[in-house]
Structure 1
Amino acid sequence: MEIWYLMIPIAMVFAAIAIVVFFWSVRSDQFEDLDRQGNNILFDDDKDAHRQAQRDHDKDPHDHSA
Structure 2
Amino acid sequence: MDVLFYLIPVSLTLGAVGLIAFIWTLRSDQYDDPDGDSARILRDDYDDHPAG
Which TM-score band (shorter chain)? 0.5 to 0.7
Runs of 4+ in 1 over 6 A off after TM superposition: none
- The percentage of counterpart residues that share the same residue type is 27
RMSD: 3.2
The answer for the alignment partner of 2:6 in structure 1 is 6
Structure 2 matches for 1:1-66, cutoff 5 A? 1-33=1-33, 35-36=36-37, 44=46, 46=47, 49=49, 52=52
Question: What's the TM-score once normalised by structure 2's chain length?
Answer: 0.65
Q: Secondary structure at the match of 1:33?
A: coil
> Taking structure 1 as reference, are residues 50 and 8 closer, same or farther at Cα in structure 2, changes over 3 Å only?
closer
Per-residue deviation, 1:51: 6.1
Q: Number of aligned residue pairs: give it.
A: 46
Greater share of helix residues, 1 or 2?
A: 1
